[in-house]
Structure 1
């Protein structure tokens, strides 16, 4: 998405997670900068997720005596024909892990200008 970001915007995502998918089409459902809430719905792509939506919230937290961030992602998804609940959850958990890793990397780069490698603190 470029320009103004608003509820209803759709973006095409190239999936580089190693999961059995290469594209995903996502629509922005919720966005609240003050409350740190982001909600999306997957509306297309070459994966088996159907009726998937998630809400991500970000909360300041003290971790080992240092300021940090706790990210919570909740989701709902239909189990596609031919899959079990466990298989569907495994796929979504892999997707969430990739998303959280990307979020951490972007956040660290924003916090430490000029850094191009992960912080191993």
Structure 2
């Protein structure tokens, strides 16, 4: 299986050169073409001069509907995000609503206020924007998408998460991207573990019937 990896770092409005980084066990050409097309369609940010942007990919051995059932829960990010301790949604769960997220100790943050920008259950797209909180991620926006694929002859899912964010004073664009990518990789690793465990449980239950 391909491990989560960052692709396409960019630090200016030109869109940058999409390149591979932190890559282990490169996928086959067909898979690479699918990744590139998904990034082109859903993950083309245009960072300003003081911003950086990148995206992280993860291949998960679980059906897309199962993976999406976890990702789409803007109101329950703690279902797979290990650094979230609590989440409270203000108002009805709908595009435009806000959530107050409490962060576990160990990160340079305690709270984050985030707005749901897009939720598309047909295309499997979730987009959020951070609008407040105690952290250094200013003007942070992210898009996460889930795409069906076949992995070793089984139903699988390609998950892509991209972001754009201000570069804090005293930091470089590469340092900022590296920090955010590390958080996303941790989240997607957890998403994969939980999704694959649930998929195995579903298979075991179906075989027992």
TM range (shorter): 0.7 to 0.9
What are the equivalent positions in structure 2 for 1:48-59 lying under 5 Å apart? 48-59=136-147
Q: 1:101 aligns with which of 189, 195, 198?
A: 189
Identify which of 72, 83, 90 aligns with 2:171: 83
- Following superposition, the deviation at residue 64 of structure 1 comes to 2.0
For residue 21 of structure 1, report the CA deviation from its aligned partner.
2.0
Aligned residues: 113
In the TM superposition, residue 76 of structure 1 has moved relative to its aligned partner by 0.8
Other-structure match for 1:92: 180
The offset of 1:107, in angstroms, is 2.8
| Equivalent pair of 1:17/1:98 in contact (CA under 8 Å) | no
Summarize the Cα distance change of 1:73–1:81 in structure 2 as closer, same or farther, 3 Å threshold: same
Secondary structure, in 3 states, of the residue corresponding to 1:7?
A: coil
CA distance, structure 1, for counterparts of residue 121 and residue 156 of structure 2: 18
Query: Structure 1 residues 16 and 98, CA, compared in 2 at 3 Å: closer, same or farther?
Result: farther
TM-score (norm 1): 0.79
Alignment partner of 1:42 is 2:162: no
CA RMSD of aligned residues (A): 2.2
Residues 69 and 50 from structure 1, CA distance in 2 versus in 1: closer, same or farther, beyond 3 angstroms? same
Residue equivalent to 1:5: 93
Higher relative contact order (CA 8 A, sep 6+): 2
Q: Tell me how far 1:85 sits from its aligned partner.
A: 0.7
Distance 1:62 1:35 in 2: 18
Given the superposition, is the C-alpha separation of residues 45 and 96 from structure 1 closer, same or farther in structure 2, using an over 3 Å criterion? same
Q: So what's the TM-score if we normalise by structure 2? A: 0.48
Q: 1:27 and 1:94 mapped to 2: Cα distance? A: 22
CA deviations 1:23-72 (Å, max 9, x no partner) are 22111000001110000001122211111101111001111222111101
